[in-house]
Structures are given as structure tokens and as C-alpha cells.
Amino acid sequence: MMSKSLILLFIAVLFLNACAEKKQVKRTPITNEGRYAIEQDLAPDSPDFDVTTLEQWNIQSEPKSRYGNHSPYVVFGKTYYLADTKKDFEQTGTASWYGKKFHGHTTSNMEIFDMYKFTAAHRTLPLPSYVEVTNLENNKKVIVRVNDRGPFKSKRIIDLSWAAAKALGYDKKGLANVHIKLLHPSDQKDETPQTANTPPKQEGMKFLQVGAFSQQKHALNIASELSNITLLPVHVTTTMASSPLFRVRIGPLTEDLNIIDIIQKVHNRGFNNTKMIVD
């Protein structure tokens, strides 16, 4: 028969193992829930996740993503032009963060947003690009890879992933006063291959082409109007011809969107010659 002391020791070991399991902080898994299944954005299920264990970016030259780099593009009636990454680029202003609501959904360049990676959304920096972000309140720094567009509904200059916000110490506060600086491959001596994230092969995406117009100003005005109606990015692209046309396209369109509803809104504005384009 097992002695009383051995029984007590066995119970103590089980108790310690149970406590150890409770202390493990796991990542929130990616699910198939729709982007709008969560009304308000949230931190991960385990906000005590140790972001110091996450891989850092190796800054390297990357070709521009096939998607998310149209210039100009229009959102909420405002026109944006991409910045020239060959020049120095710095900004100071307010940063926000995004997390669980967008976890697992596509970014503007059709990668998958992961709130546990050091990434960011910016309105005019080409996708992808690398930015050093400094929290001016505590001087903490983090390097992020810009692979998304935004924020558009405020005066904030950049929207960081939850992990990046936690690394800067403002994940619970929500907003921070930051300075951002565009980095170039020459800014980092060690140019070993990037391991933190390899962009997936990009497949053809759907766009709704509203029309092609001879005047760029007219095309931009239409894009501005449609962005207010659809609440989606609207791009103006130029055809390669001796007499170029300026195409107005909405998208890319994802499975999260009700495409029929978007087409109806466009038709209600008198644009009846729309067509789906796979690019």
C-alpha cells in the first residue's frame, strides 16, 4: 500500500502541474468568423502574452505588393498619393492599435493580419515598407512592417498591431504619441533573409470597374463620390495608351463584402456599365 507521505507528494505534484498549466499564456487562434462578428475591437483572450518572444524583422528590399499600392486612391471622399520611399519620411502624431476584430482577415495587400506580428497600417507608405516607431512617452521603440492601409476615420497617423502596441507599452491605454521613421535596407547592417513572415503567393483579386474616363480630374471626382457611398477604397488607374483613359475601380472585393449590394449602390448613382475585373 502506498504510504501517506507518498500520497501527499503525489497530490502536491498534480497541484503544481495544474498551476503551471494555468499560467501558460496562449495565442488567440485564427477563426473563420466574419470581420464584423466582433462589434468593438478587442485585445487577445490572453493579454499577458509575452511579445518579447516574437521574431524581429530583418529589413530587406521587397517588391511592392500587387495590391494596396494604387496611387492615387480615394477613401471617404479624400484622395491619397503614395509617398516616395526613396526619400526620407518621418511623422509625429497619434498611434492607435487593432487586434482581435481583424485577426485572421486580409490586409490591404492581401496578406493575413496577425495581431501577434509587428505590423502596421499607414495611409501613404508603399506596401510593404519598414518603419521604426518610437513611443515619445517612454522612448520604447519597435520596428514594424507596413502591410495595411489606414487609419482613415481620425487624425491618427498609424495603426499598429496589438503586439506592436504592447511592445511600446500602450496596449491598455489605446493611444500613444509616437514618432515614425521610414527605414531602408541600408539602415540595417545585417541583411540576412527575413524569417518573421514570408508573404503568401498573391492570387487574382476582384475589382468592380465603374468606368474609364478621358479626364483624370473627372475620374477622381467620381472616385471620391463612390468612396463615400460604398465606404470602400476606390482607385484611379491609367491605361497604357497614346490617349490614356483613367479607370475607376472599387476594391479589391473580399468574401466579407456583399458585392451585390455594392453594385446596386453604384447603379443607383447612374453608373450602369460596371463590370467585374480579376487582376
Domains of the chain, each with CATH number or no CATH: 50-69+83-187 (2.40.40.10), 206-278 (3.30.70.1070)
Residue 103: all three cell numbers together:
485577426
Residue 254: all three cell numbers together:
473580399
Query: Strand, coil or helix: what is 37?
Result: helix
Output 57 or 187, whichever has higher pLDDT: 57
Percent of the chain with pLDDT over 90: 28
In tens, the pLDDT along 244-263 reads 888 888 888 876 667 777 88
Give the chain's mean pLDDT. 80
Distances in Å between the Cα of 104 and the Cα atoms of 32, 109, 110, 111 are: 8, 14, 11, 9
pLDDT band at 206, cuts 50/70/90? Answer: confident
Question: What is residue 177's predicted lDDT score, i.e. its pLDDT?
Answer: 95
Phi, psi of 20 (to 5 degrees): -65, -40
Amino acid making up residue 128 = P
Q: Is 1 exposed, middle or buried (0-12, 13-18, 19+ CB in 10 A)?
A: exposed
| Integer Cα distance of 175 and 172 in angstroms | 9
In tens, the pLDDT along 74-133 reads 888 889 999 988 889 999 999 999 988 888 888 988 888 999 999 999 999 999 999 999
Burial 20-38 (b: 16+ CB within 10 A, else e): eeeeeeeebeeeeeebeee
| Integer Cα distance of 108 and 69 in angstroms | 9
Question: What is residue 20's predicted lDDT score, i.e. its pLDDT?
Answer: 45
Whether 165 has a pLDDT exceeding 90, the answer reads yes
Output 178 or 67, whichever has higher pLDDT: 178
Distances in Å between the Cα of 268 and the Cα atoms of 224, 228, 231, 265, 276 are: 16, 14, 15, 5, 17
